Amino acid sequence: MELPIQAVLFLGIIPALVLLFFSLKGYDGHYKDKTIFLTFIIGIILGVIAAVARLLLNPPPLIIAHTILIDIFTIIFILLLAFLEQLFKTIVLNIGRLQYKKETVIYGLSLGLGFGSSFTPFLVIAGSIVNQSNLSFLALVAFGSVGFILFHGACGAYIGYGIFTGKMTKYLFITILLQIPFNAIADLSRSIYPYYIVFQIVLVIYGAIIFWYVVKKVMPLILEPSGRRKRSKK
């Protein structure tokens, strides 16, 4: 089954924008709409680069036929992607005008959500290429891609908080560590097909937990105490 390219592109952008809309509630006056839009678009562009890199490199999976395959290239691939994808976000957010600024946390969220939204069309296209183009499989791929959106959105905001507090290296390192198991789970999802749905669910749960923590526990730290209380009631 072939989906219209326009529909595939919006499969990731729409949920990312919905998450952004709800996450920004309570932060009025702490960001500029123009910058939110710009960072979201930049995130999409960087995400496309990262998604293309994943598709082109495409190393052997860690597990083949239920047997652990110790493939050094695959391990390097997982580690390198974790480093580069988080570094991309850090480079954009660490420009002079955003350093030590509260709003960098919010712009990091926007950047990360745009970044994560780029993976949906590429994952769906990749799924349709490997003779798994039935609607139920593609729907499962689209569902699993929500994990990418949640995870990268959270990491963008987390890195932004590190830049705001002057601890960029520490927070960058933490996001890299968090992405290593995420990448491993994503790799396993293409390795053991009978359990594909399990790994897709795990990706979403993993991303949702980190997203919840960052949005509920980290981002409110840029607000005054009264603002935190108001937001916690929502």
Q: Residue 66's Cα: distance from chain center in Å? A: 28
Strands (E) in 51-208, as ranges, are 63-64, 67-68
Tokens of 70: 């110790």
Q: Return d(Cα 85, Cα 151) in angstroms, integer.
A: 12
Residue 212 has pLDDT above 80, yes or no: yes
Top-confidence residue, 95 or 70: 95
Tokens 């399990």, residue located: 198
- Assigned token pair, 94: 């660490």
Q: In the chain, how many H helices and how many E strands? A: 9, 2
The per-residue pLDDT for 187 is 80
Q: Could you tell me if 156 and 98 are in contact, meaning their C-beta atoms sit under 8 angstroms apart? A: no
Q: By C-alpha distance, which of 49, 23, 32, 52 is closest to 157?
A: 23
pLDDT score of 65: 45
Most confident of the following: 4-8, 71-75, 112-116, 220-224:
112-116
What digits encode the pLDDT tens for the residues 15-43?
999 999 999 998 999 999 999 999 999 99
Say how many residues make up the chain.
Answer: 234
> Which residues, at least 6 apart from 119, have a Cβ–Cβ distance to it below 8 Å?
12, 47, 50, 51, 145, 148, 149
In this structure, of 46-50, 138-142, 143-147, 168-172, the range with the lowest mean pLDDT score is 138-142
Distance between CA atoms of 187 and 158, rounded to whole angstroms?
24
Q: Considering only CA atoms, which of 165, 149, 143, 139 is closest in space to residue 218?
A: 165
Query: For residue 3, what pLDDT is reported?
Result: 55
Q: What confidence tier does 94 reach under pLDDT thresholds 50, 70, 90? A: very high
**Taking the CB of residue 128, how many other CB atoms lie within 10 A of it?**
18
